[in-house]
Amino acid sequence: MAFDPAPLPTDPPTATALKLFVVLSRAVESISAHAEASTVAHGLTITEFAILEALYHKGPLLLGEVQRKILRSSGGITFLVDKLETRGLVRRTRCERDRRARYAELTPEGHALIARIFPSHAEAIRRAMSGLGLADQRQAIALLKTLGTEAAGLPPAGG
């Protein structure tokens, strides 16, 4: 009463694209597992780490800027910055030019934390990527940059 397995598409453009989607997803999953392990070891989720890291490398950012960089919803950023603020790692400051808006910025404690853990995070990423040599990594960067940019510019499919 069960159905026979259906064959995958075999025309080269579709078969190749599907295969690329699979290996791309798996690669991100494997790399992200290393990245995540390196942040949870310090009591931060990946997303919390991403916020601290953005503020660390860019300086104070409007909440909306942080959101667009890291999340889909604005509600999420309020929630996350609340949590980081409660832990004393981040604070909100007002924006002079627009009284609706608020900056998020690192507190001294938040700055000390991210300054301390970022190097080991970067090292974890470097190790996770070490299956490819430097030249291959550069080639992968070029290919993925094109792939991502073109896909982002494409209108969503109609079906």
Helix (H) or strand (E) holding 48: helix 46-58
| Minimal distance, residue 35 CB to DNA, in Å | 13
The listed partner (a second copy, DNA, none) that binds 75, CB under 5 to 8 Å by sort, is DNA
Tokens 């919390």 found at:
48
- By CB under 7 A, tell whether 139 contacts DNA: no
The CA distance from 137 to 142, in Å, is 9
Q: Assess 41 for contact with DNA (CB under 7 A).
A: no
Does residue 101 bind DNA (CB under 7 A)? Answer: yes
Judged by CB under 7 A, does residue 121 bind DNA? no
Instruction: From 31, 55, 16, select the one nearest 137 (Cα to Cα).
Output: 31
**Tokens, residue 4:** 């026979």
Q: Is 29 in the site for DNA (CB under 7 A)?
A: no
For residue 59, state whether it binds DNA (rule: CB under 7 A).
Answer: no
Q: Does 107 bind DNA (CB under 7 A)?
A: no
Stretch that binds DNA, among 11-19, 21-29, 77-85, 112-120 (CB under 7 A): 77-85
Angle between the 63-70 and 74-86 helix axes, to the nearest 10 degrees?
110
Residue 102 binds which entry of DNA, a second copy, none, with Cβ cut-offs from 5 to 8 Å by kind? DNA
Dihedral sign, Cα of residue 10, residue 137, residue 116, residue 114: negative
133 binds DNA (CB under 7 A): no
